[in-house]
Chains A and B, each alone.
Chain A
Amino acid sequence: MNKRFAFLTILLSLSLVLAACGSGGSESGSNQDCEPDSNFVKAGIVTDEGGVDDKSFNQSAWEGLQAYGDEHCLEKGEHFDYAQSNSDTEYDSNLTRLTQSDYELVFGIGYKLTEAIEKVAEQNPDTKYALVDEVAEGDNIASITFKEHQGSFLVGVAAALKTETGKVGFVGGMDSPLINKFEVGYIAGVKSIDPSIEIDVRYAETFSDAGKGRQIANSMYNSDADVIYHAAGGAGNGVFNEAKDIKNNNPDRDVWVIGVDRDQYEEGALEVDDTEYNVTLTSMVKRVDISVQDVIERTMDGEFPAGETLEYGLSDNGISAADTNEEAYTEDIKSEVEDWKEQIQNGDIDVPSTHDELDEFLENL
């Protein structure tokens, strides 16, 4: 009787210990040859389930924090650090833990942390908080948002210039106001180039299931779409794999994927019969790192934007379209995109961010 429980206990505890270890990490970026800046801000980030190497906004935020650390000669663990949440029950405890370890500025990465950050911020009025991707209410919270619709507009322009079939696709994660911004901006961009281009919009209702992403991409490519823009996180991997499979069977067929959040050039690479191809046309890059650095710098200057909502867009390089794939993303496309970018920056075009605004935008085309 005892033996069986002992074994089970060992098995269970081993699994918990290992699961906890997976999130740790002991790399230390120490800077021995210089002195830390005297007016540094002790800053930390709390990730969502993606973790600091999710090849997406969590990683980008961490890179921003590391860049800040390098610049001011700070040490990880001492002056700045991250806390990874492995499930949504850990947001609260991670935020509280960093707060209690005397971090002056704590970032919550991702809209999923909204409730947790509002709660913890209320309990700790002396600590400063910043939330990425969503607007949070609170006198000691700064909200960081991005004009994703602007970037999506630009990649929409690129898609419209690239398509040969006159049909493009959009795969969203969850049908939510945030992802709708991507969809709406993209549609506006495509239609601005050629209103006759058809756009197939589908939502996977998941950010992680690559299987669903791939099935959607499969049906889109089958019905003659040749460029797909995904805003679906891990489910988007399925879109890349479908495009790569098509390319592998028929290297002459042109299918393209537009990546999201980071430059997803690497995800699109494949090799067929010793020839290298890349299906990533461009990516809608969201520079969370720039925003994180910016908020920290402002705090160092004593100008923490408490209670404010900061919107990063094209003008502050918070949003851009990647041009890594030079073969596919030709000079013509690039200069055309630059053209539209300037028009947006000048205010000549007001890119829609909701479905209602899109309807209006399309009527005025």
Chain B
Amino acid sequence: MSAIIDVLQSIIPSAFLFATPLIFTALGGVFSERSGIINIGLEGLMIMGAFLGVVINLELYPILGSTLTPWVSIIIAAIIGSLFASLHAIATVTFRADQVVSGVAINFLALGIGLFMIKQLYGKGQTDMVQGMLRSTDIPILSDIPLIGPIFFENTYYTNWIAVILAFVVWYIIFKTPFGLRLRSVGEHPFAADSVGINVNRMRYIAVMLSGFFGGAGGAIFALTFAGNFYMGTINGQGFIALAAVVFGKWHPLGALGAAVFFGVAQSLSVIGGGIPLLDSIPSVYLQIAPYVLTILALVGLVGRADAPKALGTPFVKGSR
């Protein structure tokens, strides 16, 4: 029994840690796609967030100190991230450009801006290590609960729990509020939504900018928990995994949460499985490919049909029908 608890204690915190930036970004993806705008640019939004998070952190640390700096960096990264995402909205909503192409452009643009600015600001291709990293703590009271406490609340990050709470908040917003109803209707049937007086383009702008807000926060959190600096490879593929989590979670905030945690568990199994008594006899190749195999199996077998919002990918032209 205690062996199992040991195993859980090593896998779950690390899985959760890895999942947190994915949860943030995937929630952003849910907003955007629910409104009918494909967001391949999540990777770029995360890159932007990581870049901003690191630069702001470096600049503000001497002023704000180690407790405040990471939080302020994440919030500013999220806000500027939403402005950056508005480029995607301008391209796809106002100019009705191909949403996939625009998303790809966002990915290139974010990395280009990031590296260019780093070169201009610091004269090098990557930043120094930031001092104001997010730090793990024991959550008071909750960490004293037997069994659950050590697994979930010891040496954890507040961002982990903020991500979980946000998933529920987003679920409430999308499914229980008038705003959410409008958002969904715009993504399912924009003409019907338009006919009852909803401003389709405005809703889509808001949704895409929200995805920039969450994606920026996700990128900043990734940089401030794992990498500690910004360079070409700080974000490599996490945005696409978050996009997969959106689809895997059937465009549902709680589904996206579950999918992100699932990816986290699969990844931490593959990474730390070799150190676990039960799993160390399995050749490491199998553990390395496990996340991908598990994803395919889950998509085929467990999740069932993934129904995208009906109007996903189609620009709205008022009065075209």
Q: Report the minimal beta-carbon distance from A221 to chain B, rounded to whole angstroms.
A: 10
- Provided the pairs A220-B275, A240-B228 are in contact, do residues A266 and B129 lie with their beta carbons within 8 angstroms? yes
- Chain A residues, CB < 8 A from B233: 49, 207-209, 234
CB–CB B227/A11 < 8 A = no
Contact of B102 among A11, A14, A238 (CB under 8 A): A11
CB–CB B232/A49 < 8 A = yes
Chain A, Cβ-Cβ closest to B268: A215
Contact of B271 among A27, A212, A244 (CB under 8 A): A212
Q: A-B contact count, CB below 8 Å?
A: 165
What per-residue 1/0 map shows which CB atoms of A3-20 lie under 8 Å from chain B?
111011001101111111
User: Interface stretch among B106-114, B140-148, B173-181, B254-262?
Assistant: B106-114
| Residues of chain A whose beta carbon lies under 8 Å from any beta carbon of chain B | 3-5, 7-8, 11-12, 14-25, 27, 49, 51-55, 84, 86, 200, 202-216, 218-220, 222-223, 234, 237-238, 240-241, 244-245, 248-249, 266-267, 269-271
CB–CB A271/B133 < 8 A = no
Determine whether B314 belongs to the interface, using a CB cutoff of 8 Å to chain A: no
Q: Report the minimal beta-carbon distance from A24 to chain B, rounded to whole angstroms.
A: 8
Most chain A CB within 10 A, of B10, B109, B284, is at B109
- Chain B residues, CB < 8 A from A223: 10, 275
14 A–B pairs (Cβ distance < 8 Å), ordered by A: A8-B105, A16-B112, A18-B113, A18-B116, A19-B116, A22-B114, A22-B119, A202-B271, A208-B233, A210-B227, A238-B227, A241-B227, A249-B137, A266-B129
CB–CB B101/A8 < 8 A = yes
Determine whether B66 belongs to the interface, using a CB cutoff of 8 Å to chain A: yes
| Bound complex: CA A242 to CA B137 (Å) | 13
CB–CB B131/A237 < 8 A = no
| Bound complex: CA A98 to CA B236 (Å) | 30
CB–CB B128/A21 < 8 A = no
| Bound complex: CA A24 to CA B29 (Å) | 34
| Bound complex: CA A234 to CA B22 (Å) | 20
Determine whether B123 belongs to the interface, using a CB cutoff of 8 Å to chain A: yes
Contact of B227 among A4, A21, A53, A237 (CB under 8 A): A237
Chain A, Cβ-Cβ closest to B233: A208
Contact of B226 among A18, A202, A204, A214 (CB under 8 A): A214
- Provided the pairs A15-B108, A54-B126, A210-B234 are in contact, do residues A271 and B131 lie with their beta carbons within 8 angstroms? yes
Chain A, Cβ-Cβ closest to B231: A234
Contact of B229 among A214, A237, A244 (CB under 8 A): A237
Interface size on B, residues (CB 8 A): 60
CB–CB B95/A3 < 8 A = yes
- Chain A residues, CB < 8 A from B268: 215
CB–CB B228/A237 < 8 A = yes
Most chain A CB within 10 A, of B17, B90, B98, B231, is at B231
Q: Report the minimal beta-carbon distance from B245 to chain A, rounded to whole angstroms.
A: 15
- Chain B residues, CB < 8 A from A248: 135
| Bound complex: CA A214 to CA B114 (Å) | 23
- Provided the pairs A19-B108, A234-B227 are in contact, do residues A211 and B129 lie with their beta carbons within 8 angstroms? no
- Chain B residues, CB < 8 A from A266: 128-129
- Chain A residues, CB < 8 A from B232: 49, 51, 86, 208
What per-residue 1/0 map shows which CB atoms of B267-300 lie under 8 Å from chain A?
1100110110000000010001000000000000
Q: Which of B128-161 contact A (CB under 8 A)?
A: 128-129, 131, 133, 135-137, 155
- Provided the pairs A27-B123, A234-B231, A238-B226 are in contact, do residues A8 and B97 lie with their beta carbons within 8 angstroms? yes
| Bound complex: CA A314 to CA B235 (Å) | 36
CB–CB A18/B133 < 8 A = no
Q: Which of B227-252 contact A (CB under 8 A)?
A: 227-229, 231-234, 236-238
Most chain B CB within 10 A, of A204, A211, A223, A245, is at A211
Chain B, Cβ-Cβ closest to A205: B288
| Bound complex: CA A269 to CA B226 (Å) | 16
Chain B, Cβ-Cβ closest to A241: B228
- Chain B residues, CB < 8 A from A86: 232
CB–CB B125/A54 < 8 A = yes
CB–CB B126/A55 < 8 A = yes
Q: Report the minimal beta-carbon distance from B151 to chain A, rounded to whole angstroms.
A: 13
Determine whether B80 belongs to the interface, using a CB cutoff of 8 Å to chain A: no
| Bound complex: CA A27 to CA B136 (Å) | 41
- Chain A residues, CB < 8 A from B109: 11, 14-15, 18
Kindly list 16 other residue pairs between chains A and B, CB separation below 8 angstroms, not including A204-B271, A211-B222, A266-B128: A4-B91, A11-B102, A16-B112, A19-B115, A84-B125, A202-B274, A208-B232, A218-B14, A218-B17, A219-B275, A222-B10, A234-B234, A237-B226, A241-B225, A248-B135, A266-B129
- Provided the pairs A18-B113, A51-B232, A249-B135 are in contact, do residues A7 and B272 lie with their beta carbons within 8 angstroms? no
CB–CB B271/A216 < 8 A = yes
Q: Report the minimal beta-carbon distance from A275 to chain B, rounded to whole angstroms.
A: 12
| Bound complex: CA A209 to CA B222 (Å) | 11
- Provided the pairs A7-B95, A8-B101 are in contact, do residues A19 and B112 lie with their beta carbons within 8 angstroms? yes
